[in-house]
Each structure stands twice: as C-alpha cells, then as structure tokens.
Amino acid sequence: MAHAKTSYVCLPCRASYKQPYDRERARTCPRCSEPLVHAGSAFAAPRRRDTAAWRTLAVLLNAGVGFHKSCCGGPGYRPRTPREVRERMAHARRTGEPVAEALVRRVI
C-alpha cells in the first residue's frame, strides 16, 4: 500500500512539493538544493508572486507551526497576512506565551 503524500516547501524558491513522508530522509529542493521544510498534509501553497503570503509562511514554518490534518478536518487557524503575524508576535512578547502558540491563536 502506498504511503500518503505530504507537502515540503522551499522558502527561497517559493515552491511546494508533494512527497511521501519519511522522518529519516532529508529532502532537498530540486531547483536550488536547499533543504525543504516539512509543511504538512493540509498545506496549500500561496501563489509564487505573493511575497506577503510567503513571508507569513516563512515565519510560521520557522516557528514550528505546521499544516497537519486533525481529526475534525484541517489544521485550524493560521495567520494569512504579515499584519496578523505582527499582532500575534507582539502578544507573545507581552504575555510570555510561546510564539508557536500565539501564532495559531484565533483571537488575541
């Protein structure tokens, strides 16, 4: 039986690739040979020319926030604009809440 595929992202190239998940195998981008970041099976890539969405995505992935399916559907709330990211980062600094938790909080 074939394994389900999940998304891997190259942030410098702004590209996403669906590949079978393997924890031990390091993935590299076929374009630039940089390491790929595991984004999750519920990930939907923004358009390549949407720089604001890719900046937001870079913050989320570098903070350890993934796009994994849950038992009830998708990955839950994720900020879509740099403004939403800035608001949640400021909230994390003010309250001491971990950045990854503040980023996925729907309401501040």
Asked if residue 94 is part of any domain, the answer here is yes
Residue 17 belongs to a domain: yes
Specify if 77 maps to a domain: yes
- In whole angstroms, give the CA distance from residue 66 to residue 35: 16
Whether 76 maps to a domain, the answer reads yes
Total domains in the chain come to 1
108 assigned to some structural domain: no
Assess contact for 30 and 18: CB atoms under 8 A. no
Q: Tell me the residue range of the domain where 41 lies.
A: 5-103
Residue-wise pLDDT tens digits, 46-75 = 999 999 999 999 999 999 999 988 766 667
pTM of the model: 0.85
| pLDDT tens digits along 7-43 | 999 999 999 999 998 888 999 999 999 999 999 988 9
Does residue 38 lie within any of the structural domains? yes
